[in-house]
Amino acid sequence: MDTKVFTAIIHKEKDLFVAECSEIGTISQGFTIEEALSNLKEATELYLEEFPISSVNQPILTTFEVSIPELKISNT
């Protein structure tokens, strides 16, 4: 069996960690980062059993800056 390396992007939503594989589009979650990553691995393996791929393009990960308007609070 062949193995491939994929990218996991993890962020926190309330009390859960959400993990996404950007190359495949699979998403999973867990109460810890480790659980979310383990669940994502399982979800991705199951997906690839049904929809095999021949090649994977590695994503380009970068950052960018945006201006965010200040929140105005009314004193009335």
Residue 35, pLDDT score: 98
Tens digits of residue pLDDT in 42-55 = 999 999 999 998 88
Provide the domain count of the chain.
Answer: 1
CATH number, position 16: 3.30.160.250
If one compares 32 and 74, the residue with the highest pLDDT of the two is: 32
Residue 53, pLDDT score: 87
Give the residue numbers spanning the domain of 74: 1-76
Tens digits of residue pLDDT in 10-66 = 999 999 999 999 999 999 999 999 999 999 999 999 999 999 988 888 888 899 999
Report CA Rg, the chain. 17
* Residue 76: pLDDT over 70: no
Show the CA angle centred on residue 71, arms to residues 65 and 74, nearest 5°: 170
